[in-house]
Amino acid sequence: MGREIIVGEKAGCCFGVKRALEIAGATREKYQGPVYTLGPLIHNPAVVENMKEAGIIPCESLEEAEPGGVLIIRSHGAGPEVFTAARRRGLRVVDATCPFVRHEQKLAARLHQEGYKVVVVGDPGHAEVQAVAASVPGGAEIIDPAAVKTGEAKISLPARVGIVCQTTQTQENLAGVISAILPGIKELKVFNTICSATVERQREVYDLACRVDILLVVGGRNSANTRKLAEIGSSLVSTYHIEGVEEIDPRWFRQKRVIGVTAGASTPREQINAVIDWLEENLQEEWT
């Protein structure tokens, strides 16, 4: 019996990433001058490199962008002070923030207006989490679910707390933070801002991992949602997180008949297809 390759139906770019890439491409075509992104537009090194070749340059600070150029706000969003500073520098601003992230920012600001201490559940180093926190006047409290799990989180909150959540977190992580803070507060308002596409992908990778002998998760290592898919897969089956076909080791597939392939929300279809093509071209029918 030959090998079987099963590809996740939800694998690949989500709505927000596709939209950001389309906006970036259209912006590059429309404007002749320099086009920048503040940080990588999406968390996929190969895509960012291709964009650089097309003349869309990621910069680490606004000072790197020449006045008169165009600044694309990446899919993870930015705080209002970034928009203001960019325009003051003489940059034309094009907003490619994912609509779900923008909604999260608006909910966080609303909670602040209603008198709640705003808590953002997520990775403190993630661009989206930082952008959401920056949308709250005076800032927000960021609670890292990983620190809550290990008991390292130091949490001190007032009586009234309002929560939003990084769109690529898991429901388990959100629930864990809620459970941790609930005993110490009097009133809690929660907006579950986890993206439905994230939930669907995580459910699918769980089901897929239960059906295969080995799982490949394709996407940038700097992609939080891709790492989470790999983490779920690893809890169930031999799982490898790869950015491209050049990282594949044929030895992984010894004694493995059914191969699963999925990908993060920042992984274009052509990268997934390249992995599938490699598997079909390089693995022999005989698998023992």
Pick from 285, 212, 216: nearest CA to 249: 216
Residue 82 backbone dihedrals phi, psi, to 5 degrees: -70, -45
Residue 143 backbone dihedrals phi, psi, to 5 degrees: -115, 120
Which pairing describes strands 141-143 and 117-121: parallel, antiparallel, or unpaired? parallel
CA 103 to chain centre: 16
Give helix 15-30 / helix 99-113 axis angle, nearest 10°.
Answer: 110
Residues annotated as catalytic (active site), given as ranges? 128
Q: Which residue has the tokens 């990983």?
A: 146
Buried residues in 63-92 as b, exposed as e (16+ CB within 10 A): eebeeebbbbbbbbbbbeebeebbeeeebe
Q: How far apart are the first and last CA of the chain?
A: 10
Element counts in the chain: helices (H) and strands (E):
10, 12
Which residues touch 55 (CB under 8 Å, ≥6 apart)? 28, 34, 35
Euclidean distance between CA atoms 127 and 133, whole angstroms: 10
What length does the chain have?
288
